[in-house]
Amino acid sequence: MKDNTLELFAKEVEEGLSQSPKRLSSKWFYDKKGDELFVQIMNMPEYYLTKCEEEIFANQTERLTSSLIAGFDDFDLFELGAGDGSKTMHLLEALKSLNFTYRPIDISLNAIEQLEKRVAANIPEIQVEGIQDEYFEALSKLSGKRPKVILFMGSNIGNMLDDRANEFLLKLSATMQSGDRLLLGVDLIKDESIILPAYNDAQGITSEFNLNLLDRINRELGGDFNREMFSHTPQYDQDKGIAYSYITSLAEQDVSIKALDRTFHFQKEEKVFTEVSRKYDDRALQAITNHTSLVLKDKIFDSKSYFCDAIFEKE
Ligand SMILES: C[S@@+](CC[C@H](N)C(=O)[O-])C[C@H]1O[C@@H](n2cnc3c(N)ncnc32)[C@H](O)[C@@H]1O
């Protein structure tokens, strides 16, 4: 873990649990255990997002490459929140004869290390330079004279509410040069009966994934959360097109965190907000790209039209 990651984790846990309502950021889901659980989530039948985007990357690789790479023969390929990079491997395979460096960025050091090994083992001709960092912090590292292609897949952008997403895309577009490309993978608005099970599967993997955050606080910050006393409670707001995840306290209780030298009180049924997963239509996509200098060039859908990879070019 990068030196200041533990410090930042402690600071954000303290701030989040001191607020009313309490909150913990979803970016802290991803320690080694969280990364493994997320791979299981991607493989579960209910998590259609990965399957749909995988289908786009596997079946429409030519369209993707021509939209993303046209005119570039020496470039940097950045990926924000790359995770295990399983979908990206299709694109890397198609690009392997070109002159570029793949620069995946992720807050999870474990994810970056595993991904570097995966690319080296499967497509050794590709030059990989992983970066462990937080998205906003990492923006300053998207520099360099070569043209840039930036991937932001998996509807990760949906983990930010619209104002924050717009602020992020404004900053991101400011780091881009004219002609640079961005692929933004977004999950589309659809019925609750399809969306909610992706965050509340029958086997309980998403519950395990959310509650692992309490275990992480126990492991890394000396907390004494008893996870049996909390439950994972997702909700989908059909009108807004937003799924929310919460960790709910099952009893009135106190939890101490040694590294913070603090005790936090939880009421019975009190909810700790952990994650937002925004779903998109044209209007929502417009709302987050407002005032940026990103011009929409292409929209690529899976066969069910559940998911869209939107391709933008900097003006
Ligand atoms: C939902 S997973 C998706 C992974 C991959 N993009 C995909 O489509 O399969 C989110 C990934 O983004 C990373 N991540 C989440 N929040 C982040 C942040 N604020 N900064 C950097 N990485 C972040 C996590 O560690 C995780 O690997």
Q: Are residues 77 and 161 in the same domain?
A: yes
Helix 3-18 vs helix 205-221: angle between axes, to the nearest 10 degrees? Answer: 110
Residue 35 lies in a domain: no
Q: Does the pLDDT at position 301 exceed 90?
A: yes
Residue 41 lies in a domain: no
Q: Are residues 75 and 171 in the same domain?
A: yes
Q: Are residues 74 and 15 in the same domain?
A: no
Q: Are residues 152 and 252 in the same domain?
A: no
Question: What average pLDDT does the structure give for the chain?
Answer: 96
From the alpha carbon of 87, which atom of ligand 1 is closest? 9
Closest protein CA for atom 26 of ligand 1? 83
Q: Among candidates 81, 44, 52, which has minimal Cα distance to 206?
A: 44
Q: Among candidates 167, 151, 163, which has minimal Cα distance to 278?
A: 163
Under 8 Å between Cβ of 269 and 280 = no
Q: Are residues 179 and 286 in the same domain?
A: yes
pLDDT of residue 230: 98
Under 8 Å between Cβ of 128 and 79 = no
Q: Are residues 170 and 205 in the same domain?
A: no
pLDDT band at 143 (very low <50, low <70, confident <90, very high): confident
pLDDT band at 198 (very low <50, low <70, confident <90, very high): very high
Residue 186 Cα to ligand 1 midpoint, Å, equals 14
Q: Among candidates 74, 70, 86, which has minimal Cα distance to 35?
A: 86
Residue 39 lies in a domain: no
Q: Are residues 71 and 142 in the same domain?
A: yes
153 CB less than 6 Å from ligand 1? yes
Q: Does the pLDDT at position 38 exceed 60?
A: yes
What backbone phi and psi angles, to 5 degrees, belong to 217? Answer: -65, -40
Strand, helix or coil for residue 271: strand
Closest protein CA for atom 2 of ligand 1? 83
Q: Does the pLDDT at position 31 exceed 70?
A: yes
Q: Are residues 221 and 74 in the same domain?
A: no
111 CB less than 6 Å from ligand 1? yes
pLDDT tens for 241-260 read 999 999 999 999 999 999 99
Q: Does the pLDDT at position 2 exceed 60?
A: no
* Domain enclosing residue 251, as ranges: 3-30+193-278
Count structural domains, the chain: 2
Q: Are residues 271 and 297 in the same domain?
A: no
Alpha carbon distance 188, 210 (integer Å): 23
Q: Are residues 157 and 243 in the same domain?
A: no
From the alpha carbon of 30, which atom of ligand 1 is closest? 25
For ligand 1, pick from 1, 26, 27 the residue to mutate: most ligand atoms within 8 Å of CB.
27
Residue 166 lies in a domain: yes
Residue 265 Cα to ligand 1 midpoint, Å, equals 30
Helix 48-59 vs helix 88-95: angle between axes, to the nearest 10 degrees? Answer: 10
Q: Return the CATH number at 74.
A: 3.40.50.150
Closest protein CA for atom 1 of ligand 1? 156
168 CB less than 6 Å from ligand 1? no
pLDDT of residue 3: 60
Q: Are residues 200 and 124 in the same domain?
A: no
pLDDT band at 119 (very low <50, low <70, confident <90, very high): very high
Q: Does the pLDDT at position 157 exceed 60?
A: yes
Residue 304 lies in a domain: yes
Residue 202 lies in a domain: yes
Q: Does the pLDDT at position 201 exceed 60?
A: yes
pLDDT band at 144 (very low <50, low <70, confident <90, very high): confident
Residue 172 token pair: 């991101």
Residue 139 lies in a domain: yes
Residue with tokens 């929209």: 299
Residue 282 Cα to ligand 1 midpoint, Å, equals 23
Residue 134 Cα to ligand 1 midpoint, Å, equals 9
Put simply, whether the predicted model's pTM sits higher than 0.85 gets the answer yes
Q: Does the pLDDT at position 282 exceed 70?
A: yes
Taking residue 163's Cβ as centre, other Cβ atoms within 10 Å add up to 10
Instruction: Convert 114-174 into a string of H (helix), E (strand) and C (coil).
Output: HHHHHHHHHCCCCEECCEECCHHHHHHHCCCCCCEEEEECCCHHHHCCHHHHHHHHHHHHH
Under 8 Å between Cβ of 169 and 294 = yes
Residue 11 lies in a domain: yes
From the alpha carbon of 53, which atom of ligand 1 is closest? 8
Helix 205-221 vs helix 32-43: angle between axes, to the nearest 10 degrees? Answer: 180
Q: Are residues 285 and 253 in the same domain?
A: no
Alpha carbon distance 178, 39 (integer Å): 36
